[in-house]
Each structure stands twice: as C-alpha cells, then as structure tokens.
Amino acid sequence: MEQRQVVVVGCGPAGMASAIAAAEAGAQVTVLDENARPGGQLFKQIHKFFGSKEHYAGMRGFEIGTRMLKQAEDLGVEVWLNSVVYGLFEDKMLGIIQDNTNIPMKADRIVLATGASENALTFPGWTLPGVMGAGGAQTMVNLHGVLPGTKCLMVGSGNVGLIVSYQLIQAGAKVVAIVEADSKVGGYKVHADKIRRLGVPILLSHTVKEAKGKDSVEEVTLICVDRQWQPIPGTEQTHSVDFVCLAVGLTPLTELGSMAHCQSDYIAKLGGFTLTHDENMETTVPGIYVAGDCAGVEEASIAMEQGRMAGISIAESLGLIEKSAGEKKKAMIRRRLDELRGRPVFYESAADQGGPQSPTGGDNPFRKLPGYPSEERIQGGPVAVIECSEEIPCDPCAYICSREAISVGRPMTKLPQLDSEKCTGCGLCIPGCPGLAIFIVDKTYSPLEALVQLPYEFKPLPKMGEQVDCLDRQGKKVTEGKVIKVTNPSRFDRTPVVSVVFDKRFADDVRAISLRRKGHGRR
C-alpha cells in the first residue's frame, strides 16, 4: 500500500492550483489523473483568459497550463498519469488502477478536483454520428488537429458554446448558427460580440427539433420556443450541416465524494449536485477537500482560487504554516472570489436591440460607456475605443497601458474607463484585451478616409495593400477598404492587429474585415 501526505485527484486548473499552494507550504503532494498528459482542460483552451494577474489574465489556457506544471515540478509535486481513481473509501483510502494494476493508496489529506462532464440534449437524430459535445469538438481541434466537419450548428450560447464556435471558425469550419433556447445569451457579451462580427447569427428562443442524415448528420431542423420553452408550430427552419456541437451545460463529477459519504447539495445554477464544503473548501468528511467544477460549475479563475484555498487550508491543518499567516492568505482569496463572482451588469446597445448603427441610421450607444471617447476626441486623432459593455471580472487592459489611459480599479468587474487625453492610440491594448473588444479609430487619417485598427486571429492574414470587405458589429458588409499594415510581433501573443482604411462615413461602424480571396469565407 502507498502512503502519501496530500493526494490531489485531478490535474486540471483547480487540482494544480491546490497542489502548488500546498507544496509551497512544504507539503508532500501527489497528483493523480486518468489522462495521458497533465493540465486538464487548460491544454485545449487556446483563448486568452479573463480575470487579473493572479489568474494569468491575458495568457492563453495552454500557456497557463505549461506554467503551472513547471511550477509544480519545481516544487517537487509528484504526478501520476494514466491513473484511474475508481474508489474513495474509509480512512481516506483510494483505489487506483495504473497499467492494469490495482494500487491502494492512503492519504492524510485529499483534494477532489475531478471536474465535470458535458450534458447531452436529446432530440430525434441525436445519436447520429456528427452530434457531439462542444468540449469533445474542442479537444479534436485544439489537441489533435482534427476538424469534425465543415459546417457546424452550435447548440448553447454560454461561454463554452461561444468560445468553441470562435475556435472552430479559426480552424476553418463554418458555424451556421448558434442556437439558444433561452431569450438571452448565456455567456459573456464580448464573446457574443466577436461571434456576431463574424456574421454568425445567434438564434435566441430556438431549439433543435430534429437532425437527419443517412450515415451521419446532414441537416438539422430548428424551431422557435415560447416563454414556457414549448415549440411553436410553423416556425421550423432547416440548415444543412455536417456536425452539431452541444454546449448545454456541465454536471459536477461528485461520485468519489459520495463514495466517501461527503454530503452533497443540489444547486441548479452550479450544475446540479455539488459536494458541500465550508469556506476552507473542506467537505463534511474531515480531511477531504474539494475544488473546481465538482464543487459547482463556474469559471476557471474561480476553480484556481478554490484550489489555492484548499491547498492553503490543508497546509494550515497539517501545521505547515501558522494560523495567522494562513488566514491572511485565505482572506485575500476570499476577496478575489467575491470579485470574480460579482454580479455582471449589462449595458444594452443598439447592436443587442437589433437596431441600426451610426452613421447608417442611428446613434451609437457605445458612446455612453466610460471606455468610449468623446466625438471631439475621436475627431482629434487616433484613440482607443473600448466596446466592453458588461461588468465581468477582467482588467488586463488597465495594466497593459503604459500611459495609464485605461483604468478599471476595484472590484475588477467594473467597466474600463478611458482617459482619452492620455491615450496616444498606440494600439497595445488591442491584442491585450481577452475579449477582443478594443479598437483604435482615427478619423483624421485623410480628408475622405478613416483608419481603424482591429484584432484579427485568423489565417491567412491579410496582406498590405489588399482590398477587403469592411463589416459592422453584425458581420454585415458596409463598405470596402484597404489594408495598410499588419502588426504581429511575438509580444502580441498570436493576436495580429490589422490597420484598414475606408470611407470616413463608416468609421463608427467598421469593427471587422473579411478577405475577398477566392474560396475564403467570412472570417
């Protein structure tokens, strides 16, 4: 029988954070994971993270995973891969299968960071090949370089559905639509905005009626639903697709905790049954802690904070750090958790109402936001335009700007403020924004033309002098333009910035471009 001081089950962001926190205090930590490589979900997340510096904000998920693994290695954390934990028994005894061998392991303290599983959605044809979880599609594309198909329907508009849709487009697929049964988008507005700028419709109050195909999915029929989520006959529409992604929520994996008689509670907004825990992340069974999605499905930044809380609490319980020092660290984590969980406030814009954009028929409501410069400043030269209208936990833009022209403050969920007099229009904030919600607008470029600098995370990149279609916030062509510069240094971390000039009348509209090369889709 193996004996360990601290065992962490799960090598994702929550598990790694707990292992690092405990090891930093001097604990001997072993991490168990059933997969062939460590890192959990992080290594298929190629987008830049939200949050603050403490949560690696502005870094891409796989880079965060690499950094955390290196930190754990330097601290002497032991990692067992291809190790399936099939049971958790009395006295914190674990049953492990590794290389077809049963290995019992007893631990002084245990952290359960087992994550969550994807939910399914049943409808006629849901068992056809080509219907898959969005996380499965993300794994195929980002880890294995395999595109599931060419035309996708995404079901679910939470952050997973929005992010995976964007990444499928980056990989070369066409997302026909995102379907959402609710009457509002479930994920962050900045994610929805960047999808809309690509011309992908988000169909609210819609669901899948059926999928058809001979050997795999060939078409999907959608139908509108009423306020009671009941189908409305006569509203069907059929789309030709070859794969369907389901992003309809996650269910916490609590089986190991249940085997150990840890209490669980049903909390619908956290995904269902979750393992009950105190403010130190300790379950109702002394010595067993929980962190991440199995404690309730939330954001990765929250999972990492929970992991840190569990690791510090374990170190304190083992006498590796003094109670006063532990409480100080835990108080800081609680403050950050409160910030991360701050209730998002949404500031409605004409784009969300389906209304017109200035100057093609109406006022630009983004001008009312604290991150939007005055018209007088816009007329005075290049300046940042921040179209971030939802209070979410994110502040990289504030510490990227060397001139301190952008501020967020505390809590980090506040909307970014722009001091337009300090802004020089350098554009460093464009690639630094995880939500791709910052642009540089210059209405003084020439007497007849304006210049807009915008993020462009697709291949092939446009070329200098190339003629492109200029798109509005709904992905509709409003004019044509010419690319005059493509900036892509390594410090931009794979978010090139494209400078395009076009008819000055559309300076308040143009927020995306589409290449006009033969065979190139609207990306």
pLDDT tens digit string along 298-313?
A: 988 899 999 999 999 9
476 and 374 in a common domain: yes
Domain assignment present for 101: yes
Domain assignment present for 348: no
Residue 358 pLDDT greater than 90, yes or no? no
- β-strand pairing of 438-442 with 417-418: unpaired
366 and 306 in a common domain: no
106 and 39 in a common domain: yes
**The domain containing residue 178 runs over which residues?**
120-246
479 and 365 in a common domain: yes
Q: Are 429 and 450 in contact (CB under 8 A)?
A: no
Q: How confident is the model at residue 359 (pLDDT cuts 50, 70, 90)?
A: very low
314 and 201 in a common domain: no
Q: Are 114 and 10 in contact (CB under 8 A)?
A: yes
505 and 364 in a common domain: yes
Backbone dihedral angles phi then psi of residue 475, each to the nearest 5 degrees: 75, 15
302 and 291 in a common domain: yes
Q: Are 292 and 121 in contact (CB under 8 A)?
A: no
pLDDT tens digit string along 369-413?
A: 999 999 999 999 999 999 999 999 999 999 899 899 999 988 888
154 and 10 in a common domain: no
Alpha-carbon distance of 294 to 257, in angstroms, equals 9
Domain count across the chain: 3
Which of 205, 224, 246 is the C-terminal boundary of a domain? Answer: 246
378 and 327 in a common domain: no
Whole-angstrom CA distances from 99 to 2, 8, 102, 222, 286 are 16, 19, 8, 46, 31
Q: Which two tokens stand for residue 458?
A: 């697709």
What stretches of 322-382 adopt beta strand conformation (E)?
none
- Residue 97: Cβ-neighbour burial (10 angstroms; 0-12, 13-18, 19+): middle
283 and 232 in a common domain: no
220 and 187 in a common domain: yes
Residue 183, Cβ neighbours under 10 Å: how many? 10
Domain assignment present for 403: yes
Whole-angstrom CA distances from 248 to 85, 158, 169, 203 are 27, 8, 20, 15
226 and 131 in a common domain: yes
Q: Are 503 and 448 in contact (CB under 8 A)?
A: yes
Which of 246, 276, 293 is the C-terminal boundary of a domain? Answer: 246
pLDDT tens digit string along 69-119?
A: 999 999 999 999 999 999 999 999 999 999 999 999 999 999 999 999 999
Backbone dihedral angles phi then psi of residue 390, each to the nearest 5 degrees: -135, 135
Domain assignment present for 349: no
Q: What CATH number is attached to the domain comprising 213? A: 3.50.50.60
Nearest one of 299, 291, 294, 272 to 160, comparing CA atoms: 299
Predicted TM-score (pTM) of this structure: 0.92
Average pLDDT over residues 255-259: 97
Q: Which two tokens stand for residue 304?
A: 């990492």
